[in-house]
Amino acid sequence: MKPHGSSDQTFSRDTGDLLILRQPDDWHVHLRDGGMLAFAADYTARQFARAIVMPNLDPPVTTTAAAEAYRTRILDVLPEGRRFTPLMTAYLTDDIDAEEIARGFSGGVLTACKLYPAGATTNSANGVTDVRKIWPVLERMHSIDMPLLVHGEVVSPDIDIFDREAVFLETVLAPVLEDFPGLRVVLEHITTDDSVQFVEAAGSNLAATITAHHLRIDRNAMFEGGLRPHAYCLPVAKRRRHREALRRAATSGNPKFFLGTDSAPHQKHEKESSCGCAGIFSAPTAIESYAQTFEEEDALDRLEAFASEFGPRFYGLPLNEGTVSLQRQPQNVPELMSDDHVRIVPFHAGETLRWRFNGRTDQR
């Protein structure tokens, strides 16, 4: 297979049964805290060199000191010798201190800020109630070139849940980009053709992450023979035609679209409940899931750029030097993953995947 981009920096090799990629990064992940952090973090750290760690803890990460302490807790639960860099984010609130954020960014602790519209998703009660309230913070971020990451959904109960992302583009994102034309923005976990087109049409300062699960499920997955809480995440999966648009965007080679799993573990009993939590735990087989999708789209040669090049280029970070390898070998995904404190149903539970993560390697 011909490596995509054919630069001498491209590591991608496919010998049929072995796929070698420059080590990827995850540009959107929830690692949680406490017992869940201890359970979940290494699934991300073993596959990805770096990850943008979401700040929606309870209470949320809103200061540089809190981000630093959280980073230490993450590194403390990883196995000895694991090379993994958590990239920390701050959670924007109506009254967040712009100076504090700027200090955290210039001091190298914070990589970006995350905008959660209040009430949009898990632990977003302290989020922003009206984006106009944080205009001075956005102004500051714009001036220091600090990226803004957005959960792109409006929360008004009048707006149908399947339209919340599209309405956000017009009512929130467009005005932000108009007033701050150079602000680097990542529209996280996009789920619609509307978002694909919006990102394509915008300047190079707007990019988007695409999850492994939104490339594979559409909204039928939530109702297949009954109510399926493990297919429920936010933004909710949309119609099949939107999933097809995401597949086209991810495999297009357009550097504005890159990997962000949005792996979001919740306890089994908290998903299988009368008011189940939103979130899909995809970290254990993240890269295998993307590989399967790219292979189905006949675009395995574009996986490396999507997973390992476009993200760091957007964030202005160096590409990773190491590699990972995947073996073409059937992998049965367990129905349940657990330890003494945690029980989780992972993405792809009970399915057989075509690829298996083989670990890191120095081979080029």
Q: Which among 308, 315, 305 is positioned nearest to 87, based on CA atoms?
A: 315
Closer to Zn ion at the Cβ: 277 or 326?
277
Instruction: Report the candidate in 122, 332, 350, 337 with the shortest Cα–Cα distance to residue 232.
Output: 122
User: By CB under 5 A, which span of 150-158, 248-256, 298-306, 332-340 interacts with Zn ion?
Assistant: 150-158
Nearer to ligand NCD by Cβ, of 122 and 293: the residue is 122
- Give me the least distance between CB of 123 and ligand NCD, in Å please: 6
- If the CB atoms of residues 42 and 153 are measured against ligand NCD, the closer one turns out to be 153
Measure Cα distances from 243 to 259, 291, 312 in Å.
Answer: 15, 16, 25
- For ligand NCD, which residue of 60, 127, 279, 346 counts as binding (CB under 6 A)? 279
Smallest gap from residue 178 Cβ to ligand NCD (A) = 25
- The count of chain residues that interact with ligand NCD, using the rule CB under 6 A, is 11
Q: Single out the catalytic residue among 262, 301, 339, 362.
A: 262
Q: Is 151 in the site for Zn ion (CB under 5 A)?
A: yes
Site for ligand NCD, residues 37 to 56, rule: CB under 6 A? 56
343-344 and 337-338 as β-strands: parallel, antiparallel, unpaired?
Answer: antiparallel
**Least distance CB 270 / ligand NCD (angstroms):** 10
Residue 232 neighbours by CB under 8 Å, 6+ apart: 222, 271, 276, 278, 280
Site residues for Zn ion, 163-192, by CB under 5 A, read none
Binding residue (CB under 6 A) for ligand NCD from 38, 221, 278, 349: 278
Catalytic, 194? Answer: no
Please give the DSSP secondary-structure letter assigned to residue 305. Answer: I
- Identify which of 232, 262, 358 has the alpha carbon closest to the alpha carbon of residue 29: 262
Do residues 362 and 322 lie in contact, with contact meaning Cβ atoms separated by under 8 Å?
yes
Q: 6 phi and psi, to 5 degrees?
A: 40, 35
Total number of residues binding Zn ion (CB under 5 A)? Answer: 3
Q: Quick check: 262 binds Zn ion (CB under 5 A)? A: yes
Does position 222 interact with ligand NCD (CB under 6 A)? The reply is no
Distance CA 38, CA 265 (A): 12
Nearest distance from residue 232's CB to ligand NCD, in Å?
7
Output 53 or 250, the one with its CB closest to ligand NCD.
Answer: 53
Residues 133-162 that bind ligand NCD (CB under 6 A): 151
The rounded distance, in Å, linking the Cα atoms of 248 and 239 is 15
| Residue numbers at the binding site for ligand NCD (CB under 6 A) | 30, 56, 121-122, 151, 233-234, 262, 264, 278-279
Could you list the active site residues?
262
| Residue numbers at the binding site for Zn ion (CB under 5 A) | 121, 151, 262
